[in-house]
Amino acid sequence: MQEQGKRYSREFVEYAVGLITQGEPLYEVAKELKIDPDRLFRWAIMETEKRNLKILRNPISPHEKTDEVLITRSIDQKLHTENKNNAMVLENKSFKRNPEIDAQLNQFIANNDRLVNYVKALPREEVERKYLLFKMKDEMHKKSYEKKVTEYMNLPENTAFKESLVKNLSLDIKDEATRQRALLKEEKIQIHKQGIKMSM
């Protein structure tokens, strides 16, 4: 770690906090940049507060009603309406929860006060971006795995195996794209059953 009392440039602070807002784990960023995690955590909180304060201090004035501003507000109004409609749908939606996972998550929350406070201090937009980043990485991992499965099943020695899976597909599936998705799903199931590991 860097020595106590060391001063860091504004550019360095913004760079470090930027890595966190892009989804990098705080402790990994601290280790890589040789910063005390507590110091990095405080920077993240301060940057969040500054961003929120800047928005409050610089609202759009009545004299700024240019076409661009009016268009932006129109888009914002549309998004607000869409979000409101989505919220109404979510109110009536029941979310599935696994009691065992819930218990593990509650324990993790109880053991990580600083992380919890950091997440709570994040603006809504940053929380959404972090969640979507997680979903994006998950989707990329899924596609990478499916590509490996397809490559494996297309090997010459697996021709008979693949043909047997094709024959077992339901005859009710007429659409070719749907048949391919069903075949890929069955291939993944069979590969998992046989304990075959796909190198990522």
pLDDT tens digits, residue range 122-134?
A: 888 888 888 888 8
Same domain, 77 and 53: no
Distance CA 114, CA 46 (A): 14
**Gyration radius from the chain CA atoms:** 25
Same domain, 46 and 89: no
Q: DSSP assignment, residue 61?
A: P
- Specify if 103 maps to a domain: no
Same domain, 137 and 91: no
Asked whether 13 and 43 are in contact (CB, 8 A), the reply is yes
Same domain, 43 and 54: yes
- Give the CATH number of the domain where residue 54 resides: 1.10.10
- Specify if 175 maps to a domain: yes
- Report residue 195 as tokens: 């304990």
pTM over 0.75: no
Which residues span the domain enclosing 30? 1-59
The sign of the CA dihedral 84, 85, 90, 92 is: positive
- Specify if 49 maps to a domain: yes
- Specify if 102 maps to a domain: no
Same domain, 199 and 142: yes
Distance CA 116, CA 3 (A): 27
Q: DSSP assignment, residue 155?
A: S
Same domain, 200 and 128: yes
Q: Pick the closest to residue 37 from 46, 25, 51 (CA basis).
A: 25
CA 32 to chain centre: 22
Same domain, 79 and 147: no
Same domain, 151 and 82: no
Stronger pLDDT, 178 or 78, i.e. the higher one: 178
pLDDT band of 156, cuts 50, 70, 90: very high
Distance CA 20, CA 137 (A): 16
Same domain, 199 and 136: yes
Distance CA 48, CA 123 (A): 7
Domain count, the chain: 3
Nearest-5° Cα angle at 75, 71 to 77: 115
- Residue range 158-194, pLDDT digits in tens: 899 888 888 888 777 778 888 888 888 888 888 888 8
Same domain, 53 and 69: no
Stronger pLDDT, 184 or 67, i.e. the higher one: 184
Asked whether 190 and 169 are in contact (CB, 8 A), the reply is no
Q: What is the pLDDT of residue 60?
A: 47
Distance CA 149, CA 199 (A): 10
- Specify if 152 maps to a domain: yes
- Specify if 104 maps to a domain: no
- Specify if 100 maps to a domain: no
